[in-house]
Structure 1
Amino acid sequence: MPFDYDLDFDSIDFREHPELYRVGRGEQGVLLVEPYKGEILPHWRFKSPEEAKKSSEKIYEMFLTYKKEDDFVGMDMARKFIQMGYTRARRYANYKGGRKYDKSGEINEREIDHEKAQSASIFEEKWKIVREDEEYLEKKKHHQKKYG
């Protein structure tokens, strides 16, 4: 099980206890893992391409800082926020208000918002860079082997 939701995430400092961190799939746990959530979330924006560019560059800079500090959990959390920038911007690009489904559970008709699509593209570029970073992949493999 990638995340143990029985843990009291509010009381865990994952920088001090990286052994409790599980990589998970995609963006899983992105809003649970402190102190990283508190460090990265204030910079996460995708409303406009300008905000997306500034945000993705800042979060990528944080990824590189975590990398320099040999902090895999920080690297993975930065990756998750960059990935989430892409997926959320893409959702808002495709559906007005970001709502894929209506109240009855039917899929809403797509209405392409080109500005949000551009924001998604900006985050996607950074996401490709971080998810293919060789040192990140090596640290991920090591972390999963050591801690699960």
Structure 2
Amino acid sequence: MPFDYTLDFHATDFRQHPELYRVGKGEQGVLLVEPYKSEILPFWRFRTPEVAQESSEKIYALFEAYLKQHDFVGADIARKFLQMGFTRARRYANHKGGKKYDGPVPDDKKGQSGSHGRAELPRTPEDPAKAEAAAIFKRCWDEAKHHPEYLRQRAEFETQYGK
């Protein structure tokens, strides 16, 4: 099922109400789903390869801890932070300043990914430090999304909640 953007994310504790969570596509909800966003976001950094290594290791440790607690929603949000570490570092590697599209995001599209009809800005010469940071996050993200316990809990979650 698609991610449900109509929920009151300020008032919803997804640890208490996992039935409201939708996996969605890609990174959907990563910066909305509490309390996980607040637990993981302080560790999410990709400025240099060294910072990305420390960040990805900490987030992966949280991912594993959520799995051990049988907290699929937490594990999925941690996986999404690893994915977002990769995608954002790649964006900064390809576009100095991290701005990929020209012009502002239309108000009705804020919080959603995609160009929304805006032109993509030209790529700048690749930033090797950001490219390496992206590669570090990519390795952790790949490991997380193929983790046998994650896959088991995801299938169980989708069976239980039909999502």
- Deviation by residue 1:20-64 (Cα, 9 ceiling, x = unmatched): 101111101101100000000000000011110000000001011
Structure 2 unaligned runs (5+)?
104-117
Give the structure 1 partner of residue 106 of structure 2: none
* Two-structure CA RMSD over aligned residues (Å): 1.3
TM-score by length of 2: 0.86
Describe the shift of the 1:98–1:134 C-alpha distance in structure 2 as closer, same or farther (beyond 3 A): same
1:61-120 deviation per Cα after TM superposition (whole angstroms, max 9, x unaligned) = 101111111100010010000000000000100111112234472531332000000000
Residues 82 and 126 of structure 1 are in contact (CA less than 8 Å); yes or no, is this contact kept in structure 2? yes
Q: State the percentage of identical aligned residues.
A: 59
Q: Which runs of 5+ in 1 are unaligned?
A: none
Partners of 2:123 and 2:84 in 1: CA distance = 22
* CA apart distance, 1:145: 2.1
Aligned residues: 148
Asked if the contact 2:3/2:25 (under 8 Å) is kept, the reply is no
* Counterpart-to-counterpart distance in 2, 1:136 and 1:107: 37
**Partner AA of 2:125 in structure 1:** E
| CA separation of 1:101 and 1:7: change in aligned 2, threshold 3 A | closer
- Residue 65 of structure 1 is matched in structure 2 by 65
CA–CA separation in structure 2 for the residues paired with 1:52 and 1:134: 24
Query: What CA deviation, in whole Å up to 9, does each residue of 1:8-28 have, x standing for no partner?
Result: 011010001111101111101
Higher helix proportion? 1
Report the TM-score, using the length of structure 1 for normalisation: 0.95
